[in-house]
Amino acid sequence: MTNFEKIDILLVEDSPYDAELSMRALQKKKLANNVEWVQDGADALDFIFAQGAYAHRAQNEPLKLILLDIKLPKVNGIDVLRKIKEDPATRSIPVVMLTSSAEGQDLSECYQLGVNSYIVKPVDFESFQEEVEKAGFYWMLVNRVPAS
């Protein structure tokens, strides 16, 4: 990806299999051409806040959507969510937890921190792809956000 390509969706997922399914679902329905995938929470924070390896990334065009797993290496998804929602510059970016965790504590904590949606990943391929398509459709085409 070049420095000049606009990134619409950040996918934060440590499983290459789940990441591939998610990206295919979004591209199949033409919901996002520009998806950036990172595999851990530390890289997600670097990307979102244009620091570290992503210091060159322009922040003048905010992400339209962040799909965020909870169970991530280095920095877990709940801590990533906390940092996104604490910062006035990133607070309004829609964040959808796309996770295998159906634990009530995780669900409650994510909503207390300001998550926009919480989706438990279905186990089978077709259901998983369908859930990502529905989430992408809603957040990329139906939902409206204020102009930056």
Output the six-digit token pair for 21. 């399914």
Residue 126 lies in a domain: yes
Q: Are 80 and 72 in contact (CB under 8 A)?
A: yes
Give the distance, in angstroms, between the CA of residue 85 and the centroid of all CA atoms in the same chain: 13
Q: Give Cβ neighbours of residue 15 (< 8 Å, ≥ 6 apart).
A: 69
**Domain-embedded: residue 2:** no
Q: pLDDT tens-digit profile of 52-96? A: 999 888 766 678 889 999 999 999 999 999 999 999 999 999 999
- What is the signed CA dihedral for 86, 66, 93, 104, rounded to 10 degrees? -60
> Domain range for residue 22?
9-142
Domain total in the chain? 1
What is the predicted pLDDT for the residue at 4? 41
Sign of CA dihedral 55, 67, 36, 138: negative
Amino acid at 110: C
What per-residue confidence (pLDDT) applies to 32?
66
Domain assignment present for residue 148? The answer is no
The Cα–Cα gap between 115 and 68 comes to: 10
